[in-house]
Structure 1
Amino acid sequence: MSKMSTDPTRHALHGPTMGTRWSAQFHAETGFDPVPVRAALQSAVDEVDAQMSTWKPDSDLMRLNAAPVGVWQAVPARLLDVLVLGRDVGRASGGAFDMGLGDAVAAWGFGADEADPTQIRAAMARRRVETALEIDVAGARGRKTADITLDLNGIAKGYGVDRLADTLVALGIPAALVGIDGEMRAVGLRPDGSPWNIAVEAPDPARRAPYSVLALQDAAVATSGDYRHWVEVQGRRLSHTMDPSRGAPLLAPPASVTVVAQTCAEADAWATALMVLGVDAGATLAEQRGLDVLFLVRDDQNGFHSKAVGRLFSEQPSEGISGLDR
Structure 2
Amino acid sequence: MKTSIDSSGACDLERHVFSGATMATRYSAQCFAPANLDLASLHTDLDRAVKSVDDEMSNWKDASDLTRLNQAAPGHWLPISGNLARVLIRGIEIGHETGNAFNVGVGDAVDAWGFGPGTPDRTACANRVAPRPLRPADEWLEVDANGRRARKLASVTLDLCGIAKGFAVDELGRVMDRHGIGNWLVGIDGEMRAKGMKPLNAMWAVAIERPNSSHREAMAVLELTDVAIATSGDYRHWQEHEGTRIHHTMDPCTGAPLHGGVASVTVLARTCMDADAYATALMVLGEDRGMQFARDKQLDALFVMREGEGLRTKGTGCFAAS
Counterpart contact for 1:106–1:115, Cα < 8 Å: no
1:188–1:218 contact (8 Å) kept in structure 2: yes
- 1:236, CA displacement in angstroms? 2.5
Question: 1:13 pairs with 15, 18, 40, which one?
Answer: 18
- Distance in 1, matches of 2:29 and 2:70, equals 32
Q: 1:128 aligns with which of 131, 134, 151?
A: 134
Picking from 193, 201, 221, the partner of 1:185 is 193
Give unmatched runs, 5+ long, in structure 2. 1-7
Residue 35 of structure 1 aligns with an amino acid whose one-letter code is: A
- Post-superposition Cα deviations, 1:299-322, rounded to whole Å, max 9, x if no partner, equal 12x121111111x1133xxxxxxx
1:59 Cα deviation from its structure 2 partner: 0.1
Q: Which is worse superposed, 109-118 or 279-288?
A: 109-118
Work out whether 1:78 is the aligned partner of 2:86. no
Name 2:218's counterpart in structure 1.
Answer: 210
> How well do the aligned residues superpose, as a CA RMSD in angstroms?
1.9
Tell me, yes or no, if the aligned pair for 2:261 and 2:306 is still in contact at 8 Å. Answer: no
Bigger shift: 273-282 or 231-240?
Answer: 231-240
Are 1:75 and 1:141, in contact at CA under 8 Å, matched by a contact in 2?
A: yes
1:40-92 deviation per Cα after TM superposition (whole angstroms, max 9, x unaligned): 00000111001000110110011111110111111210101100110000000
Per the alignment, residue 299 of structure 1 pairs with 307
Q: Which residue of 2 aligns with 1:150?
A: 158
1:159 aligned counterpart, secondary structure: helix
| Gap change, CA 1:137 and 1:243, over 3 Å in 2 | same
Describe how 1:26-45 pairs up with structure 2 within 5 A. 26-45=31-50
Query: Quick one: distance in 2 between partners of 1:161 and 1:169?
Result: 13
TM-score by length of 1: 0.91
CA distance in 2, matches of 1:276, 1:21: 26
| Separation of aligned partners in 2, 1:313 and 1:233 | 33
Shift of 1:121: 6.7
Secondary structure of residue in 2 paired with 1:256: strand
Equivalent residue, structure 2, for 1:47 = 52
* Residue 237 of structure 1: how far off its partner (Å): 1.9
The alpha carbon displacement at 1:254 in A equals: 0.4
Cα distance in 1 for residues equivalent to 2:269 and 2:129: 32
Tell me if the contact between 1:6 and 1:29 (Cα under 8 Å) persists in the aligned partners: no
Please, which of 163, 169, 173 is the counterpart of residue 161 of structure 1? Answer: 169
* 2:102 aligned residue: 97
Greater shift, 55-64 or 104-113, is seen at: 104-113
* Structure 1 range deviating more: 187-196 or 93-102: 187-196
* Total equivalences in the alignment: 312
The 2-side partners of 1:123 and 1:151 are apart by 18
Deviation at 1:127, TM superposition (A): 5.0
Distance (whole Å) between structure 1 residues aligned to residue 31 and residue 292 of structure 2: 37
Measured in 2, the distance between the counterparts of 1:5 and 1:41 equals 22
* Counterpart for residue 314 of structure 1: 320
- Residue in structure 1 matched with residue 3 of structure 2 by the alignment: none
Amino acid across the alignment from 2:84:
L
Q: Does 1:64 align with 2:69?
A: yes
Residue aligned with 2:200, SS? coil
CA distance in structure 2 between the aligned counterparts of 1:127 and 1:236, rounded to whole angstroms: 20
The alpha-carbon distance between structure 1 residues 4 and 105, as it changes in their structure 2 partners (threshold 3 A), is closer
Deviation digits for residues 282-310 of structure 1 (CA, Å, limit 9, x no counterpart) = 0001111111100000112x121111111
The verdict on how the C-alpha distance between 1:89 and 1:127 changes in structure 2, with shifts beyond 3 A counting, is: same
- The whole-number CA distance in structure 2 between the counterparts of 1:240 and 1:5 is 42
Aligned to 2:250: 242
